[in-house]
Amino acid sequence: MDSDKPVNWLGRRKERKAVKLSVDHAAEVLQAVIGMNETVQSFNKGPDDLVERIDLVFDKEREADKVKEEITTELSEGAYLPPSRGHLLRLITTADDIADNARAAAAKLEFLEPGEVDGDISNGLAQLAYLSQECVKPLKRAFTLLFEKENVKESIGETEKVEKMEEKIDYFRANNLIPKIVEWADRSHRPGMTILITQIEENIEEVADQAENTADTIREIALGSA
């Protein structure tokens, strides 16, 4: 095996701390996405605690940011070889984009009144949020399997689940949710609300897109050990 291959640095003492932190970061990212999904589900039901739920998503995203900063500091201070530094930076950057989009989607819901959004669209956003959450769950398992258990085969298997779920999300958007948003926009003549709904939908979808990008990096690292 080439000394440059990614897996060679996973067990080195200096890299071990950053690798462990990357698993912690993935856990915080998942919690932010779970919070986003719960917020969208609550919005769909018209609850009174929407602001509190949004605040919880912000808290989880901030926790993910703290771990990301800790990893960045660790990488900047240590004598890391280029392969390990590059892979870890790319990994945490794309993973952090997941949490950023989860926060953005939740935050924008505060500017909408649940009763003013078409029921089919509200239901569609709820379904999209749930699917995006289910896309990130196997991503977190892939982190744990590769970086803690060093199980390459199962880690790759989890990244493939991420990819399949992302494809399912793309199909749902193209064939279900987006046509309903377009139809409602033409009918309602409410450009401001249409823009906001579209941005929320795009943020939720971006959660899945960035999950797939992160899974690609994990798979690249894992395949380097095969």
Which two tokens mark 109? 């819901």
Give residue for tokens 């909408």. 112
- For residue 95, count CB atoms less than 10 angstroms from its CB and return exposed for 0-12, middle for 13-18, buried for 19 or more: buried
Whether 214 contacts 163, CB under 8 Å: no
Q: For residue range 116-166, what is the model confidence (pLDDT) as tens digits? A: 999 999 999 999 999 999 999 999 999 999 999 889 999 999 999 999 999
Res 2: pLDDT: 44
- Does pTM surpass 0.85? yes
Q: For residue range 205-216, what is the model confidence (pLDDT) as tens digits? A: 999 999 999 999
pLDDT at 8 over 70: no
Which two tokens mark 208? 């899945």
Domain ranges for the chain, please list them: 6-223
Q: For residue range 22-75, what is the model confidence (pLDDT) as tens digits? A: 999 999 999 999 999 999 999 998 767 899 999 999 999 999 999 999 999 888
* Phi, psi angles (nearest 5°) of residue 80: -85, 140
Report, in angstroms and rounded to the nearest whole number, the Rg of the chain calculated over CA atoms. 19
DSSP state of 5: S
Q: Which residues contact 50 (CB under 8 A, 6 or more apart)?
A: 39, 42, 43, 109, 110, 114
The closest of 178, 175, 173 to 132, measured between CA atoms, is 173
Whether 26 contacts 145, CB under 8 Å: no
Whether 96 contacts 64, CB under 8 Å: yes
Q: If DSSP codes are grouped into helix, strand and coil, which group holds residue 122?
A: helix
Give domain 6-223's CATH number out of 1.20.58.220, 3.10.20.30, 3.30.70.660, 3.40.50.1980: 1.20.58.220
Whether 145 contacts 222, CB under 8 Å: no
